[in-house]
Structure 1
């Protein structure tokens, strides 16, 4: 059973706090509304969808695919199974096939290249050859690496994605994704691996073997706080972009897909990100670890558990919007003991007129152990009188 607790009255006072940072007046209509077939903009810090257009339509990601290749490597580094300082020998067959093919690090055959160099080359200059060398070198073969990519996608909940190549080279449609799925990937990369993200993503240029190439990210260096993530283009896919920027503690992630010109993609990416930061009034509703409600527990040494936030909770309100923000706690219950402190057990649903609801995780404030014999009898008896 889904339980809901409406909290609009309890949180009413928070509607009058000052914005977390001053912003310019809204620039008007969303700049991508008529020019990008696929567009998505989400505030990671609030969980709010600021704009969505065909966010669940499958499309070909082209080189945005490399984001998953980098993410899988980040996962290995974080769990201690990959050392960025380790080296891989470039197979002659890989160099022959991929040297200079599309975006490239120009890896010569039998070169000994560090994993850190491959990751930087993939993330910064979209190295097709680097992606294949990394995949085959770490997993033993490209198909084995693809298994890791697709397993990672499933774990992240990317239910409308499949990867048939580590670098996004055209593969007759076997590789596909959606804007929503790419957001899940970007969010996981940023939140799980912040140090690796800062080290490898958003570098302005990359030099290898005496050759320097620049990052073609359309918002890097042009939007304050922009730090990636990946462009993509093939004649089949058109021009796409997975991007992110952080300003004054607020991080936005955007996706564009199917844009028909490079210059238009750059224009839309910049306008879209600016709009996201400027068109809303951002307000802090709750501090981290605030109790927002409780959930019923069965079979425990306590009959309920407090629900707390795992972060400061913000909300973006369109500057033209009327009042009417509402809140509710949602959990699937009653819950059954045992429950560990810090365990995710519910969501805070934040509704703003004209926008999709945002869902913020809620955690158990305290542990609830399984009830002993006499506590079970007591709970059963007291339950008769509720």
Structure 2
């Protein structure tokens, strides 16, 4: 009979001055999401799954799809695109395009990233839309968002212009930022540009509004947003040493509050958490019972070195639980995933790590089967014969 088996183990962290539990960050934002990009650890989630008006932060989805189209060969970085009447008519943040322009795709991308150009967003959208309309592209945006796991996002336009039903969650924006950084490393440096004076026509509006880029905190992206309905928001990322943090905030009242909250979050994320080497590949961390094997147990290990993000003030021992359904029937091959190690750190979501067989365990021969059969009979019927009689 197989059953879920749990084993508690302790994992020693590498050196560090360690103490009490993690310091919890209290953000003034209406909703927020902070992700350690390096380890995939969610550090903060406040109303993170609520669908909210994203303002210009939703332009990141337009950019993602444009980057995909370039990578797939459906759009060329040097291609020039016409500007429609609809695109030129957009208000708000702008590249000041008109219908006589034909604009290089690269300039449009920079116009969206640095200048937050609504007109540039629409030009790209119309070029990539199956029916040549912004609304058609918005439907594609929603479909692609679902495929990327962004289940709280719904798009009605390419720019984030206020509209009923145009919504994203802060978690979805975090997922999107993570994908932009991971999937398009050649394009990502565009997000760090602080100025883009397109064609000399926007000298007074050529600076990137992203305040974190000039704070000296390692920030290199991504996008601000603001409407009266949404308040002030920002999708940001910063890299210090080998670690990168992604953060998303929205619903702040002023530009100053957005800047201050961004700096506080970045400082907190880097100062209060550290990456620790926990287990080396091949190190036995537990054993699992084996059924009908040449050996009654098999060692469990990790296939790759494991590092965990832990609070700076965490205890120097991490309690973890190994969970598997056992006993595990032979034959077993080295590297087969047999169990999971569940790590729970104060203030952080649990981390589940796959554990694999340390070595092969062959199926036992006649003697093993005979011994197993005897064990089953003993467990079912108990001791028999003279011994049983004497014990009566």
Q: TM-score, normalised by structure 2?
A: 0.75
Unaligned 5+ runs, structure 1: 297-303, 335-341, 366-374
Which is further off, 35-44 or 117-126? 35-44
**Secondary structure at the residue paired with 2:220?**
strand
Secondary structure, aligned partner of 1:209: helix
- How many aligned residue pairs are there? 356
Query: What is the rounded CA distance, in whole Å, between the counterparts of 2:224 and 2:249 in structure 1?
Result: 9
Q: Identify if the C-alpha distance between structure 1 residues 295 and 80 changes in structure 2 by more than 3 Å, giving closer, same or farther.
A: farther
Does structure 2 retain, via aligned residues, the 8 Å contact 1:223–1:245? no
- Asked whether the 8 Å contact 2:280–2:302 carries over to 1, the reply is no
Structure-2 residue corresponding to 1:314:
308
Equivalence for 1:165: 157
Aligned to 1:147: 139
What value does the CA root-mean-square deviation take over the aligned residues? Answer: 4.3
Tell me the alpha carbon deviations over residues 189-236 of structure 1, each in whole angstroms, 9 at most, x when there is no partner.
1111122212x2221111211134111112112043211111111001
Residue 194 of structure 2: aligned partner: 204
How far apart in 1 are the matches of 2:173 and 2:198? 29
Query: Where does 1:82-93 land on structure 2 (aligned, <5 Å)?
Result: 82-93=75-86
Tell whether the 8 Å contact from 2:275 to 2:307 is kept in structure 1 after alignment.
Answer: no
C-alpha displacement of 1:324? 4.8
1:136 is the counterpart of 2:126:
yes
Q: Summarize deviations over 1:237-296 as a string: whole Å, max 9, x none.
A: 111111111111101011111111111111111111111111223323356898988999
Q: How far is the alpha carbon of 1:308 from its aligned partner?
A: 5.4
Cross-structure match for 1:247: 240
Cα distance change on mapping 1:2 and 1:90 into 2, 3 Å: farther
In structure 2, C-alpha distance between the alignment counterparts of 1:204 and 1:136, rounded to whole Å: 27
- State how far apart, in whole Å, the 1-side matches of 2:72 and 2:284 are: 33
For residues 79-123 of structure 1, give each alpha carbon's deviation from its aligned partner in whole angstroms, at most 9, with x where no partner exists: 23222111101123421x12xx11111112121111111111111
**Offset of residue 358 of structure 1:** 3.7
Q: Is the 8 A contact 1:74 1:196 kept in 2?
A: yes
For 2:287 and 2:76, locate their aligned partners in 1 and report how far apart those are by CA, in whole Å. Answer: 44
Contact 1:285 1:315 in 2 (8 A): no
Q: CA deviation at 1:66?
A: 0.2
Counterpart of 2:386? none
2:312 is aligned with 1:326: no
Would the aligned equivalents of 2:320 and 2:343 in 1 still touch at CA under 8 Å?
Answer: yes
**Residues 243 and 254 of structure 1 are in contact (CA less than 8 Å); yes or no, is this contact kept in structure 2?**
yes
Residues 149-177 of structure 1: CA deviation (Å, up to 9, x unaligned): 112211111111111111000112x1111
Q: CA deviation at 1:347?
A: 7.2
| Higher Rg of the two aligned structures | 2
* Aligned position for 1:43: 36
Deviation at 1:310, TM superposition (A): 6.8
Unaligned runs of 5+ in 2: 290-297, 328-334, 358-362, 377-392
SS across alignment from 1:145: helix
Displacement of 1:27 in angstroms is 12
Would you say the 8 A contact 2:22–2:312 is kept in 1? no
**Alignment partner, residue 270 of structure 1:** 263
Distance 1:322 1:146 in 2: 48
Q: Secondary structure at the match of 2:209?
A: coil
